[in-house]
Amino acid sequence: DAGVIQSPRHEVTEMGQEVTLRCKPISGHNSLFWYRQTMMRGLELLIYFNNNVPIDDSGMPEDRFSAKMPNASFSTLKIQPSEPRDSAVYFCASSLAKGVEQFFGPGTRLTVL
């Protein structure tokens, strides 16, 4: 199994631009999580899906952030418009169910200039 796949691995963009991060979870996993990691705030859960349905999006910073999971093998996290304070590493993780071992992707390092 290839593990959780994220793309792109690095993204540099200018303030105001739209950014779309992509994630392919491990096949058969029912739960998918989006996290953001920064030095100041550590690892924050943004949103998680169970069986493609968003369960908890209380961690999404503001309306500029949106996430979708159109099917069991694909999810996107979109930031529109992006701001310099959105610069962080964004991780996608998947698991067989809520509350058990999570498998993390390699992350997308986002820099907003």
Partner 1 sequence: SQQGEEDPQALSIQEGENATMNCSYKTSINNLQWYRQNSGRGLVHLILIRSNEREKHSGRLRVTLDTSKKSSSLLITASRAADTASYFCATDESNTGKLIFGQGTTLQVKP
Query: What does the binding site for partner 1 look like in residue numbers (CB under 8 A)?
Result: 4, 33, 35, 42-45, 48, 56, 91, 93, 98-107
Residue pair 111/47 in contact by the 8 Å Cβ criterion: no
Q: Residue 107 carries which DSSP code?
A: -
CB 110 within 8 A of CB 88: yes
We find the least distance from the C-beta atom of residue 69 to partner 1, in angstroms, to be 16
CB of 16 to partner 1, least distance (A): 28
Which residue, 69 or 105, has its beta carbon nearer to partner 1?
Answer: 105
Nearer to partner 1, 9 or 18 (CB): 9
